[in-house]
Structure 1
Amino acid sequence: MILRGVGRRYGLRGPWVLRGLDLDLPTHTLVRIEGANGVGKSTLLRMLAGIDAPTEGHVTGRPRTAYVPERFPVALPFTAVGYLVHMGRVHGLPAAEAADRAQEWLARFGAAGYARTPLAELSKGTSQKVAVAQALLAEPGLLVLDEAWTGLDTAARDALDRAVAERVADGATVVFVDHDPRRLAGSPSRTHRLEGRTLHAVAPAADHGPRVRIEATGPASAALPPGLPGTPTVERNTPDPAAVRLTTTAAHSDALLHALVTARPPWHVTGLSQLPAPVPVPCSRHDGTAVGVEPRPTPTTGPAEAATPEATPGADPEAAVVAPRPARPSGPQPRATAALTRYRTALLARSQRWLAPLLLYAAVLGVGVRAGQPLLDSLGYAAAAVVPLAAWLVRLCVTQEPPAARNVVAAAVGPSSGHRASLLAGLGCALALGGAGTGIVLLISEPVSTDRTAAVPLLPAALAGLLATLCCALTGAAAGALCARPVLHRHGWSLAATVAGALLVLVTDGSPAKAAVTDLVSGSLTGRVRIPLLPLAGAAVVAVAVGVLTSRLAALRE
């Protein structure tokens, strides 16, 4: 992943927060970002994760990404495992695999007993464990941690340290910010300090802590895996060219063992011992490489050999049993898009915020639709009621998620895809309710003209009513999308604009919704059914255009 000339403003025209950032993030890399409070560390992490787009410059090569915020919201109407399964499916995992990994990671962080507990009932520490688990269960290529250790107990912090080492050993890039300078001390491959709106590389300090010596044997002529954690000192055994002795810091030992036993072909660990801390020696090299470190050889290519890693006395048992899984493609996949829409719909359904628009829609139908009334008049009235319903539901779906949870989704699939899923969820709910209302009208209305002198064909009338409902739902959804974030962020303005927008859609000449309703009502005067194909086409164009516009804006203004 590469950043070139990246900058970010406060808002569209505000002052610069960051500017002129150049950063290369290769695989097998752990990067620490330092800086004083308020200098833009979280803003940088959000750009790295793809939550915010840079105001200038460009980011290329972003792999599949997961993000852990500092404070994870508990205002989500799911159980811990239910939320993790949704997030696993958003990342593209099948449902069964997502459930298995959710249970696995909850157990690793000591939260297995809370799997069926609603998120709203969890403590801050346990909810943070859920936040970390959602990022790790999909094995991302880029893991971004913004004060992720905050609120975790000692055991969970150690588990997160091991998980970070595993991700780096498996080839991922991990970027983190933490207020504790001791966090992963000695482990980062690189450290950068944020000052004066830009990044400055920090020369790594020599690590004079305890050392661990690992003796391992690999297949004849096999090269060591590339990018070994901790840049270990390498010594070859001349009588046995397949044997190697690696010396690294204690902080890197678990990750190094994991990299050796999971390599293809694997290396068999034959010895493990702890060495005393070395005497401090000044290092004259700016890249921080220890004197005497043998350059890592380029790995030879060849067929991978299937082998089971051997258990090693003193090695981390979790590191020895975790096998790398096949890499998944980056970016939102069709399965993930459908899963995200289901997640947004479930979020709306479980929050019960749908109840108010449903009661309003039912009240409007109850007042305006009576048994025995002319069919086309009632269908037009019911279709018109779908406009405010769709606008309200879309607004709810776009704004219902807490910002931290929305950022987690945006890192997984991108803010544009996340916004589109909200629009689809709101539109789908509006169509379901509007279709049910149209069905009720068809059952109780009389298929006659307004003056009851002409019969109205039932099947064409049903088709016209359903298409008019679809037309009104699309137009209302477009109005709701334009009256919510990212166009309008303030709640009061957004609510007032939604009401005004729904009314304008119904009364403005040229509106597809008004045209569809007018076709039904005017057709009722003569008993002639008009299929609103042209208004439907116009509504589809408007809805698609608004969806593209607001989705693009979501990537710029989140």
Structure 2
Amino acid sequence: MILRGVGRRYGLRGPWVLRGLGLELPARALFRIEGPNGVGKSTLLRLLAGVDAPTEGRVLDRPRTAYVPERFPAALPFTAAGYLIHMGRVHGLPTAEAAVRAQEWLARFGAAGHARTPLAELSKGTSQKVAVAQALLAEPDLLVLDEAWTGLDTAARDELDRAVTERVADGATVVFVDHDPRRLAGAAGLTYRLEGHTLVPAADRPGDNGPHVRIEATCRPPASLPPDLPGAPVVERDAGDPAGVRLTTTAAHSDTLLHALLTARPPWHVTGLAQLPAPVPVPVGGAAVDPVPRPAPGGLADTAAPAPGTASRPARAARSAVGATTALIRYQAATLARLQRWLAPLLLYAVILGVGVRAGQPLLDSLGYAAAALLPAAAWFVRLCVTQEPLAARTVTASAAGPARAHRASLLTGLGCALALGAVGVATVLLISEPVSTDHTAVVPLLPAALAGLLAAGCSALLGAAVGALCARPVLHRHGWSLAATVLGSLLALVTDGSPAKAAVTGLVSGSLTGAVRVPLLPLAGALAVAAAVAALTSRIAALRE
């Protein structure tokens, strides 16, 4: 992954937080980001995680990514295991595998007993364990941790240290911020410090950027390495020789690491020892380095480490965009259903329908009324879906799937709810209305009328979804302004000349005068075009402005 000339503003036209960043993040690397509060560390991590898009510059070759935000909310309507399963599916895991991995990671962090506990009932520490577990269960190629150790107990912090070391050894890149200067201090990697708007290597940290030592060792029969190795070395294994291992650590920790290997039970036999030079910064825009010495071709790491940007699980990395969107829609729909906020727009639609539609009324008139009533309900559904996740939870899903895709999934979830409600409304009207013209002199054919009613409802749902998308985050953030804009936008979409929704409804009502059914194909095409344009616009804004 490479950052070239990356900058980020506060908002769309605010002051610069970061500017001119250049950084290369190769595979099998560990980075620490330092700097005082408010300098932009979290902003940098959000850029790396893909939560935000840069205001200027480019981010190239982002691999599969997982992100742990600084504060994780407990306001999601799931159990701990239920949430992890949803997130596993978003990352591309099959449901069964996601469930198994959820249990494994909860157990590793000492939270297995809380698997069925609602997130809202978890303590802050246990909630943080869930946040860390969701990032680790899919084995990401880029792991971004924003003070992820905060709130964890000692055992869980040690376990997270081990998990980070495992991910680096497995070929991943890990970038983290932590307030404890001792956190992973002995690990082979580089520390950067944010100064002003840019990033510089923190060469004054002892041990981080000095000479490194590479140790090659073997143990027969093959055995696991001792836990808590001194210096948290980067571990590389040879796929063709499970008994061999290569460890890279700082020179300051090499003696204690050798002692730990030689005194282990069973003991490890050292077959190679070499001192490597300190990494040399190579400017790429702002700052870029080769953080871990790279083995010569044909070495142990040459067979085990994937190339930068290559997923460690190729089949999983190649998952389709449709599959990721489907997982996001399932997650959004489950969130909406469990929060029961869907009741409000449903009741609104039912009340409007109950007031305006009576048994025995002309069919086309009633279908037009039902289609018009659906538009504000659709706008409401979309507003609910794009705002129902707490901010930290949105950053997690945005990192896993991309902010644009996550936003589109919210829009599709709201639109799907509106379309389902519209279909029920059309069916109800067909059952209780008379298939006759307004003056009861002409018979209206049922099947064409049903088709016209469904397409008119589709027009209203699409226009309502566009109104809801434009009247909620990321375009409008204030609740009062958002609600007022939704009401006004829904009204204008129904009464403005040229509106596809108005054209579809007017076609049904005017057709009822003579009993002629006018299928609103042209209005439907217009509604689709408007909805697609609004979805593209707001999805782009979602990456630029939270």
Normalised TM-score (structure 1): 0.84
**Quick one: which of 384, 387, 402 aligns to 1:396?**
384
Are the aligned partners of 1:357 and 1:389 in contact in 2 as well (CA < 8 Å)? yes
Are the aligned partners of 1:89 and 1:339 in contact in 2 as well (CA < 8 Å)? yes
Moved more, 483-492 or 36-45: 483-492
Structure 1 position 304, deviation (Å): 7.9
Report the equivalent of 1:26: 26
Structure 1 position 399, deviation (Å): 0.9
Are the aligned partners of 1:31 and 1:175 in contact in 2 as well (CA < 8 Å)? yes
Structure 1 position 534, deviation (Å): 0.7
Report the equivalent of 1:523: 511
Structure 1 position 397, deviation (Å): 0.5
Structure 1 position 272, deviation (Å): 7.1
Moved more, 37-46 or 294-303: 294-303
Report the equivalent of 1:321: none
Report the equivalent of 1:13: 13
Closer, same or farther: CA 288–159 of 1 in aligned 2, 3 Å: farther
Letter in 2 for 1:67: Y
Closer, same or farther: CA 395–456 of 1 in aligned 2, 3 Å: same
Structure 1 position 545, deviation (Å): 0.8
User: Can you list the C-alpha shifts for 1:324-359, whole angstroms capped at 9, x where unaligned?
Assistant: 865632686321111101111111111111111111
Are the aligned partners of 2:188 and 2:233 in contact in 1 as well (CA < 8 Å)? no
Does 2:259 match 1:273? yes
Matches within 5 A, 1:63-102: 63-102=63-102
User: Can you list the C-alpha shifts for 1:232-274, whole angstroms capped at 9, x where unaligned?
Assistant: 344799xxxxxxxx99x94345753xx33x6443234799733
Report the equivalent of 1:438: 426
C-alpha separation between the residues in 2 aligned to 1:264 and 1:124?
44
Report the equivalent of 2:286: none
SS at match of 2:316: coil
C-alpha separation between the residues in 2 aligned to 1:479 and 1:235?
62
Are the aligned partners of 2:296 and 2:302 in contact in 1 as well (CA < 8 Å)? no
Structure 1 position 300, deviation (Å): 5.5
Closer, same or farther: CA 269–235 of 1 in aligned 2, 3 Å: closer
Report the equivalent of 2:521: 533
Report the equivalent of 2:352: 364
Letter in 2 for 1:512: P
- Equivalent pairs, count: 501
Report the equivalent of 2:104: 104
Report the equivalent of 1:232: 213
C-alpha separation between the residues in 1 aligned to 2:294 and 2:516?
84
C-alpha separation between the residues in 1 aligned to 2:104 and 2:168?
19
Closer, same or farther: CA 295–136 of 1 in aligned 2, 3 Å: closer
Report the equivalent of 1:459: 447
Does 2:295 match 1:299? no
Are the aligned partners of 1:92 and 1:333 in contact in 2 as well (CA < 8 Å)? no
Are the aligned partners of 1:162 and 1:255 in contact in 2 as well (CA < 8 Å)? no
Are the aligned partners of 2:467 and 2:486 in contact in 1 as well (CA < 8 Å)? yes
Are the aligned partners of 1:28 and 1:172 in contact in 2 as well (CA < 8 Å)? yes
Does 2:50 match 1:55? no
Matches within 5 A, 1:157-168: 157-168=157-168
C-alpha separation between the residues in 1 aligned to 2:448 and 2:480?
42
Report the equivalent of 1:113: 113
Structure 1 position 205, deviation (Å): 4.0
Structure 1 position 286, deviation (Å): 5.7
C-alpha separation between the residues in 1 aligned to 2:19 and 2:245?
47
Structure 1 position 79, deviation (Å): 0.7
Does 2:403 match 1:415? yes
Letter in 2 for 1:184: L
Closer, same or farther: CA 332–25 of 1 in aligned 2, 3 Å: farther
C-alpha separation between the residues in 1 aligned to 2:28 and 2:279?
17
Report the equivalent of 2:466: 478
Matches within 5 A, 1:190-229: 190-203=190-203, 205-207=205-207
C-alpha separation between the residues in 2 aligned to 1:359 and 1:388?
12
Closer, same or farther: CA 203–83 of 1 in aligned 2, 3 Å: same
Does 2:532 match 1:544? yes
Gaps of 5+ in 2: 219-224, 247-256, 263-274, 282-291, 305-311
C-alpha separation between the residues in 2 aligned to 1:107 and 1:437?
48
Letter in 2 for 1:535: P
Report the equivalent of 2:373: 385
C-alpha separation between the residues in 2 aligned to 1:201 and 1:337?
38
Structure 1 position 55, deviation (Å): 0.8
Letter in 2 for 1:157: R
Are the aligned partners of 1:66 and 1:144 in contact in 2 as well (CA < 8 Å)? yes
Does 2:333 match 1:350? no
Does 2:145 match 1:145? yes
Are the aligned partners of 2:91 and 2:324 in contact in 1 as well (CA < 8 Å)? yes
Are the aligned partners of 1:193 and 1:202 in contact in 2 as well (CA < 8 Å)? yes
Closer, same or farther: CA 327–199 of 1 in aligned 2, 3 Å: farther
Report the equivalent of 1:315: none
C-alpha separation between the residues in 2 aligned to 1:328 and 1:158?
28
Are the aligned partners of 2:295 and 2:302 in contact in 1 as well (CA < 8 Å)? no
Letter in 2 for 1:267: A
SS at match of 1:145: strand
Letter in 1 for 2:146: D
RMSD: 3.1
Closer, same or farther: CA 505–287 of 1 in aligned 2, 3 Å: same
Are the aligned partners of 2:329 and 2:413 in contact in 1 as well (CA < 8 Å)? yes
Identity between Structure 1 and Structure 2 (%): 73
Structure 1 position 421, deviation (Å): 0.3
User: Can you list the C-alpha shifts for 1:87-116, whole angstroms capped at 9, x where unaligned?
Assistant: 011111111111111111111111111111
Letter in 1 for 2:260: Q
C-alpha separation between the residues in 2 aligned to 1:452 and 1:294?
86
Moved more, 424-433 or 263-272: 263-272
C-alpha separation between the residues in 1 aligned to 2:160 and 2:403?
26
C-alpha separation between the residues in 1 aligned to 2:77 and 2:28?
37
Structure 1 position 296, deviation (Å): 3.5
SS at match of 1:519: helix
C-alpha separation between the residues in 2 aligned to 1:451 and 1:360?
30
SS at match of 1:20: strand
Are the aligned partners of 1:32 and 1:188 in contact in 2 as well (CA < 8 Å)? no
